[in-house]
Amino acid sequence: MSAMTSVRGRPKGRALLEMARALLPQMVAVRRDLHMNPELGGEERRTAGMVASKLCELGIGVQEGVGGTGVVGLIRGRGAASASSADPSRDRDPGPEHCVALRADMDALPIDDRKDVDYRSRVPGAMHACGHDGHVAMLLGAAKLLASLAGEFSGCVKLIFQPAEEGPGGAAPMIRDGVLSNPNVSAVVAAHLWPDLPTGVIAVKGGPVMAAADSITITVTGEGGHGAAPHRSCDAIVVAAQAIMALQTVVSRQVNPVDPLVLTIGTICGGYRHNVIADQVTMTGTVRTLSPTLRRTVPDVIRRTLEGIARSAGAEIECAYSPGYPPLVNDERVAALVADSARKMLGKRHVIEDVEPSMGGEDFAYFLEQVPGAMFMLGAGNPEKGACHPAHHPKFDFDEDAMAIGAALMVDVALELLERR
């Protein structure tokens, strides 16, 4: 092990967890403030300002406006190339200096908060229903731990506070703005609060863990007419119904059943009134895949299926296929390191590595296309505290005790990555 990356005498495992638990009241205060003041994707100005202010209070170099409203902090350990500056992008290139990154997303969802708690959202039509308020609070807690330990590790840790994960996407703009360079990031880790798992449990695995999330817009064009004379028209609503049913065979009959695929039509819009044959129907949907190969081939399968329906009905069907977030694929080595750190901190029975992939999407996948890394699922379910609803539910909540575990584990993994360079 080189002197550049050695880590001597730092707290690990349960000792680090106890340090994080001492910070839990501060994390809870931040989380509840953010929960009461949610901001949608691309609008996270108040949140970003709070993050930047708290990082500055810790003496951490801060860069704002990365990829829109993103914030980046940089913590340099002993032997780092230069001291923290007000703008880490202006630091000189540290050459071989080792740098790992931790990421949290900041945006809320366009949902009305229906929880009966004193920290419910004060913003109509906006709510933190996916735990991003907790992600920010955890990473700020991790920042405080890392700042207190800066004299005990070498290299640096980059803190990425990302906007717009729920849409239109913030990871790719941050990457374009150079978030993974100067200094170059060699690994990146993120936590996702997961109420489907009980508090105190961690789930992580290498390989695909979340799906590509693509979208389709289907336009059916027929010929309108009087509702009493359907034989003189081409009913776009009937053709759309046939198309929806035919698309179910894409999943059940036209792709390998061992390759996960979800094809959901979410909206249908067409028709004018009860006695008029509709001449056009527009539908939108989502296509979720884990396999890159299936992701490339399924658009043609969908179009071929729709063309068959159009020919048989004498209608026209157009399908616009829009690629979204790519599959989230954890690096095997980094995922194994997360699992190892979690076992030492929580005990073997609290770590799940046989994890079923989720067909949800996450734009953290863009970071993992650039550098090795992993996202782990942080158990935060506790029915006694009302943490029993799934993500994106209007009563979503999580057990705030989980934030101490998440902060401690992110710090431990980051320092292990520096140590094992």
Catalytic residues, by residue number, are 107, 165
Q: Which of 273, 164, 280 is nearest to 228 (CA)?
A: 273
What H or E segment, with its residue span, contains residue 27?
A: helix 24-36
| Burial of 46 from C-beta contacts in 10 A (0-12 / 13-18 / 19+) | middle
β-pairing verdict for 202-203 and 187-198: unpaired
C-beta of residue 191 within 8 angstroms of C-beta of residue 376: yes
Widest Cα–Cα separation across the chain: 85
166 DSSP 8-state letter? T
Q: How far is CA 21 from CA 32, 145, 187, 376, in A?
A: 17, 11, 26, 19
E strands, 326-402, in order: 328-330, 351-352, 373-381
Give kind and range of the element (H or E) at residue 133.
helix 132-148
Tokens of 277: 């044959």
Closest to 379 measured CA to CA, from 356, 399, 407: 399
Q: How many residues does the chain have?
A: 421
Please give the C-alpha separations between residue 19 and each of 22, 23, 50, 147, 315, in angstroms, as whole numbers. 5, 7, 23, 13, 66
The candidate with the shortest Cα–Cα distance to 350, out of 361, 334, 338, 360, is: 338
CA distance 401 to 318: 50
E strand or H helix at 408 = helix 402-419
